[in-house]
Every structure is written in C-alpha cells, then in structure tokens.
Amino acid sequence: MMTSLPIVAGRFCARSACAALFALLLALPGSAAQAQRDSAAASPVEEFSQQLDAFQKSVPDLNRSIQESARTIDGMADVEKARAEIDKLRELVSTLLGAVSDNGPVSQLGVKALDHVRDKLRTLTQETRFKPEERQFLIDQWHKLQVETENATKELDDARAQFAGLLQTLQQNEDFIGELLEIRQAEKALEVIRSLTRDIRDASTQLNKLIGGIKPPGV
C-alpha cells in the first residue's frame, strides 16, 4: 500500500514546519514546476531505478552485519548478552524493512514510477505528432519499461515479506527466551538462541539472493 508523501509524512511531521515547506513547494513559481515537467519524461522511473540500486548496494553490508551478529551470538554463553545482540539484530532488520515497507521511500517511488509509465502509455496511444511506426516504437519501449518496473516492484514485495518474516522470527524468539529466563531455564534459552542463529543465516543468504536478483528498470 502506498500513501502519498503528505499522508506518510503527516503522522511524524513537525506539523507547522512541514506544512510550511509543502505550501512553499506547491507555491513554487511556474519556472521550477515547468522545469520539473520538462526535464525528463522518464524521471520517476529513473528515480526509482536509482533508489533501488542504492538500496541493493546497502544490503550486502547490512547482511554482513547480520551474519557477523549471528556468529557472535553462536559463540556466546551469556544469555543476557545474546539477548542484547538479538535486539541489535532486530534493529538491523528493521532498518532494511523500513526502506521497503509500503510507505518507505523505495516502494513509494516504485508506485510513482508505475503510475508514470501507465500515464505515458495512455497518452502515447492518443498521440498524433508521430508517424505510426515511431509511435509504435515508443509504445514498445514504454511497455518494456512497464514490465521491468512491475517485475522490480513484485520482487520488492517478496523482499518486504522476507524482512517482515525475519523480524517476526526474531521478536518471537526473543520473547520466548525472555520467558525461559524468567523461569531460570538458561540452558534451554541458549539452545533456542543457537537454533535462531541458524534461521538467521538461512534467511540472510536467501535475502542476499533475492535482493541481488532484482533488476532496476531501464538498466
């Protein structure tokens, strides 16, 4: 689900500052707005492609941290320290999920890019400035871009589900470990932690493949 920027922003905004900035943005003189319109018809797609690319590049580093954290936990005999490490892991996964959540920046740009491609295709079918073969060429290119953008957003959906699943696994295990400690079952808690690190490694490897396989549109 995509909410528009003002909607996404609404809850968190320092409202007056935000309102003023958006008002200023909307009130921009024609030249700037026109410049944006003129600059590049494909800009929302490019923007999405760039954001996606940047996100993909950030994933291996974060994934490496996740793997390292799992390795650290594996060697620990102190349950409390291991719990703190799991907490850190949740933060890492949460950061990744933040980028691809439905109201996160990458997903928002994906929706914007798809809207743009669909609008473009709609207007091109009524376009009379070009020869039929020229128009057909443009339509074919936009169709190609549409397929690529749809594929990328579909893969982002899969990544989002994976991140969410991993975060849920972490939080449920952490809760269980907490309960075990309350009844002084430290040994059992350590077992749970070790089994959790295996799950984390598997999920992390899968995520690397999934994210690495996403092809930004137009590339």
Partner 1 sequence: MRRVLGLIASAVIVGAAIAACRPTGDVGYVEIKTVPVAAATQTALYLDSIKLAPIRKGSAILRQGVGTRKLQADWMAGSLAQLCDIVVRKNRITTVTVSVLERPPRCQCRFSGTDAATAHACVS
Distance CA 50, CA 133 (A): 31
Q: How far apart are CA 117 and CA 159, in angstroms?
A: 23
Among the candidate windows 65-73, 92-100, 180-188, 204-212, which touches partner 1 by CB under 8 A? Answer: 92-100
- Quick check: helix, strand or coil at residue 26? helix
Q: 216: helix, coil or strand? A: coil
Is 41 one of the binding residues for partner 1 (CB under 8 A)? no
Tell which residue, 205, 174, 186, 209, has the closest CA to residue 89: 174
| Cα–Cα distance, 92 to 194 (Å, whole number) | 19
> Which CA distances in Å does 78 have to 81, 134, 137, 181, 189?
5, 69, 65, 11, 10
13 makes contact with partner 1 (CB under 8 A): yes
Q: DSSP character for 129? A: S
- What does the per-residue mask of binding to partner 1 show for 164-193, with x meaning CB under 8 A? x--xx--x----------------------
- For partner 1 (CB under 8 A), the number of binding residues is 47
Q: How far is the CB of 118 from partner 1 (least distance, A)?
A: 14
| By the rule CB under 8 A, 34 interacts with partner 1 | yes
The pattern of x and - marking residues 139 through 158 that bind partner 1 according to CB under 8 A reads ------------------x-
Nearer to partner 1, 1 or 77 (CB): 1
The three-class DSSP label of residue 211 is: helix
Q: Which of 140, 161, 198, 202 binds partner 1 (CB under 8 A)?
A: 161
Q: Tell me which residues touch partner 1 (CB under 8 A).
A: 1-5, 7-14, 17-18, 21-22, 24-25, 28-29, 31-36, 38-39, 87, 90-91, 93-94, 97-98, 101-104, 157, 160-161, 164, 167-168, 171
